[in-house]
Amino acid sequence: VLFSIVTIWEGSLCGLRGEVRRHAMTEYAIRFFVGGLVVSAFAALGDVFRPKTFAGLFGAAPSIALATLAIALLKQGPNYVAVQGRSMVIGSIGLCLYSLIVCYLIKSDLSAKSAALLASIVWFAVAFGLAWILWGAV
């Protein structure tokens, strides 16, 4: 159901039909399973390592990036992947400030879930703000 929704969404925006739509659906199914596996593997690593601060490094593991970039290398080629890597640096700055704010909010007595969800605004503001300032990509 999920892949159908994603594919229909893309299809309606890009005008995909028939065979092309089926290919797109397979692509998203592969992305889902590869991404789910890599993310779960890194999350499990984060569960077994101690101390907690070291385990926290796995919260910023390149799990989604590894799955996405490997598929992009096969599908779109190295130039496309290089551009994604450049944007990823900007996204990482957003992640750094995001986790700093999460840390601060938790210490200010907010629950971990509320802090993590509320601070998402910071990630969007920093990532999209920097992308707009640096190359007007928004």
Rounded distance between C-alpha atoms, residue 131 and residue 87, angstroms: 8
Q: Does 20 bind other proteins (CB under 8 A)?
A: no
CA distance 86 to 135: 11
DSSP assigned state of 57: G
The CB-of-123 to other proteins minimum distance in angstroms stands at: 6
| Residue 18: CB minimum distance to other proteins, A | 18
The label of the residue with tokens 């910071």 reads: 122
C-alpha atoms less than 13 angstroms from C-alpha of 86 in its C-beta half-sphere: 11
With CB under 8 A as the contact rule, the residue among 26, 33, 121, 125 that binds other proteins is 33
Query: Of 20, 22, 23, 93, which lies in the binding site for other proteins, with binding defined by CB under 8 A?
Result: 93
Q: How far is the CB of 1 from other proteins (least distance, A)?
A: 12
Q: Which is nearer to other proteins, 18 or 121 (CB)?
A: 121
Q: Which of residues 96-125 bind other proteins (CB under 8 A)?
A: 96, 98-100, 102-103, 106-107, 109, 111-113, 115-117, 120, 123
Contact between 130 and 93 under an 8 Å Cβ cutoff? The reply is yes
Among 20, 26, 49, 125, binds other proteins (CB under 8 A): 49
Q: CA distances (Å), 124 to each of 70, 119, 127, in order?
A: 25, 9, 5
